[in-house]
Chain A
Amino acid sequence: MKVLVAVKRVVDYNVKVRVKADNSGVDLANVKMSMNPFCEIAVEEAIRLKEKGVVTEIVVVSIGPTTAQEQLRTALALGADRAILVESAEELTSLAVAKLLKAVVDKEQPQLVILGKQAIDSDNNQTGQMLAALTGYGQGTFASKVEVSGDSVAVTREVDGGAQTVSLKLPAIITTDLRLNEPRYASLPNIMKAKKKPLEVLTPDALGVSTASTYKTVKVEAPAARSAGIKVKSVAELVEKLKNEAKVI
C-alpha cells in the first residue's frame, strides 16, 4: 500500500528564538532550520512499515516555501520514494494546510497518512485531526505504536492517564508521538541518491484550494521573564526559605 507522510520545515529545536523588536513575530533570519522532530518520527515509521513489507511506496509532502525542498530531500535520503512540495510563501494556518493535504490525498489515494502530532513552532496540534475530518477517515493521534493488519490499523495512543489502543479502518490518519520510534540518520550515499529522486512542485491554485483564514496574529511578545533566584548552601537553608520566605510548604 501507499503511505503519505507530511513534513514541516521549522526552526531547529535547539535554537533559542528571539521575538522581533516590532512584535510582528519571531526572528527567523539566519536561524538554523530543520525538519520538525515529530515529522522525522513520521518518516521513520513509514520507512519501517516499508521494511516490514506492509508499505510499497512512501510519498512525502511538505507545504511551505521553496526552501522546504531541503527537508523533502532529507526525507528522500532517509528512504521516501518521491516528494511533493506545495509551494506557498505565506504562513498558513493548520486548516489551510489540512485542506491542501486533503487535495494531495485525493490525488494520491494513500491508505495511510502519517503526520507529526504537532509542529514545534506553532505548537498547534491540529493538522492531522483536521485532515481526518476533511477526508472522513479515522484518526490515531499521539501514536506510540502502529500495527497494520489487513484492512485496519491498531494504534496505541499516549493519553493523559496512560495508553489507549484504538482500531481504525484503512485508509486512516496517524499522528506521531515522540516515543513511536527513534529516527535514523541519512547516510552520505543515500543523500547523493536522494538528489535524483522525483520532487514535484505544486501550488495551492493548481490544487484548487483557497488558503484564506479566519485567524490572525495581532502581535508576538517575549514571555514575562522570571527574576533571578538565589543559590542556597544547604538543604536546611532551602527548607527554611521554603517555609518562611516563599511560604509554599
Chain B
Amino acid sequence: MTILVIAEHDSKVLAPATLNTVAAAAKIGGDIHVLVAGQNVGAVADAAAKIAGVSKVLVADNAAYAHQLSENVAPLVAALGSGAGGTGYSHILAAATSNGKNILPRVAAQLDVDQISEIISVESADTFKRPIYAGSAIATVQSTASVKVITVRATGFDPVAGEGGSAAIEAVAAVHDAGTSSFVGEELAKSDRPELTAAKIVVSGGRGMQNGDNFKHLYTLADKLGAAVGASRAAVDAGFVPNDMQVGQTGKIVAPQLYIAVGISGAIQHLAGMKDSKVIVAINKDEEAPIFQVADYGLVADLFEAVPELSKLV
C-alpha cells in the first residue's frame, strides 16, 4: 500500500494541516508520498521532505498549478492516483481545508470513486469515522474503492513531527492545463495572532459583542493568552469580523486546549466547530444559553465587565 498525501501550502510555507494529514496516513499504514503542486514551491518541497515518516516527495512545479486551481491540479492527482506514469496509490489524502475540499472531490469523480469527507479516525485501511449532521452523529463508513479518496479533519489527528525525515524529492513533469479557469486575485486577512485551526487557545465572540469595535476586548485578551480569535456566524453576518474567522459547521473546525466563548449562545452549527475542545469556557449573561450545556466552566456575567477583568488577571 502506498498513500499519496496532497500538501497544503501557500507556495511559500507548508501548512501545519499537512502534518495532521500525514498522521492519518501513518495510521492507515504503508509508504507515504507527499505531492506538492504549485509554482515556485521549492521551499515547500524541502519542508515536506523533512516530515517524519514520508518516503518520497513529488513536486509538480508549473505555472498551470499556481494558486492550485482545481481544474488543473485534480487531473494531475487523478493521473498519479490511477497509476498513469508510475505506481498507483491505494489512498489519496488531503486536509479538509478549503483547498482540499475544492480539489479532492474532483479527483474522486475523475477516478470514478466515492469520496470520504472529513474523517476523524482511522479504524482500518478501508474503514473510517466521520461526523454527520453537524457533528450530532458519528458515522463509521467503509470503502471498497480501488483508490480511497479521503479528506482529513486536522483536529482529529495529532500532527507528526515536521523535522527529522529525509525523503527523496522527485519532479513530476506532467502538466495539465484545462484552460477553463483562471486566477483573478485574492484578499487575505492579515494577522499576527496564531492561526485559528492550529491555536492552543481560541477566544471567540458572538452576537453579544454588539459591534466590530468591541472585538478589541477579545483581541486584548487573546494577545495576553497567545490565543487566536474566532467568531460565530452571527458575528460574521453582522459584519463585526471577516468570515475567515468563523468557527462552526460551515466555518473552521477547531479543537484547542482552551476555547473561550464570549457572547455566543451555542447553536448546533457553532458547537459543530468547537465541541472537541479540551476545556470550554462560556461567558454569557443569559444563564439559559445552550453554550452552558457544553461548557466546563460557565460564568454568567456581562461580557463588557468580565472580559476586561479577565484580561487583567491572566
Contact = CB atoms under 8 A, between A and B. Distances in A.
B249 A120 contact: yes
A106 interface: no
Contact of A248 (B107, B183, B258): B258
A164 to B, nearest CB: 4
Contacts of B69: 166
A64 B294 CA distance: 35
Interface of A is mostly: mixed
B105 A129 contact: yes
B304 interface: no
B136 interface: yes
Contact of A217 (B10, B141, B268): B141
A219 B130 CA distance: 11
Contact of B138 (A13, A167, A222, A234): A222
Given A94-B105, A161-B244, A133 B74 contact: yes
Nearest to B128: A218
B144 A167 contact: no
Contacts of B252: 160
Contact of A126 (B115, B250, B309): B115
Contact of B244 (A123, A158, A220): A158
B178 A136 contact: yes
Contacts of A17: 133, 136-137
B255 to A, nearest CB: 13
B40 interface: no
Nearest to B252: A160
B243 A26 contact: no
Contacts, number: 261
Best-buried of A14, A125, A165, A214 by chain B (most CB within 10 Å): A214
Contacts of A249: 201, 225, 258, 314
Contacts of B86: none
Interface in B71-112: 71, 74, 97-99, 101-110, 112
A178 B250 contact: yes
A161 B10 contact: yes
A159 B136 contact: no
A123 B187 contact: no
A236 to B, nearest CB: 6
B138 A220 contact: yes
A202 interface: no
A122 interface: yes
Contacts of A121: 132-133
A247 to B, nearest CB: 9
Interface string A142-181: 1010000000001001111111111111001000011100
A21 interface: no
Contacts of B144: 214-216
Given A166-B181, A177-B250, A231 B298 contact: yes
Interface residues of B, number: 91
B242 interface: yes
Contacts of B310: 235, 238-239
Nearest to A132: B106
Contact of A246 (B116, B225, B250, B296): B296
Contacts of B42: none
Query: Which of A127, A172, A231 neighbours the largest number of chain B CB atoms within 10 Å of its CB?
Result: A231
B131 interface: yes
Nearest to A221: B138
Contacts of A219: 139-140
Contacts of A30: none
A62 interface: no
A69 interface: no
Contacts of A231: 287, 292, 297-300
Interface string B168-202: 00000000001111111111110000000100010
Nearest to B127: A218
A229 interface: yes
A238 B180 contact: no
15 contacts: A26-B136, A95-B112, A118-B250, A123-B118, A126-B117, A138-B181, A162-B189, A162-B242, A217-B141, A219-B139, A221-B140, A226-B275, A229-B297, A231-B287, A241-B297
Given A161-B10, A214-B114, 5 more contacts: A125-B101, A129-B103, A229-B296, A242-B279, A248-B279
Closest 4 CB pairs of A and B: A129-B105, A133-B109, A138-B180, A130-B109
Interface of B: 10, 67, 69-71, 74, 97-99, 101-110, 112-118, 127, 131-145, 178-189, 197, 201, 225, 233, 236-237, 242-244, 249-250, 252, 257-258, 268-269, 275, 278-281, 287, 292-301, 306, 309-310, 313-314
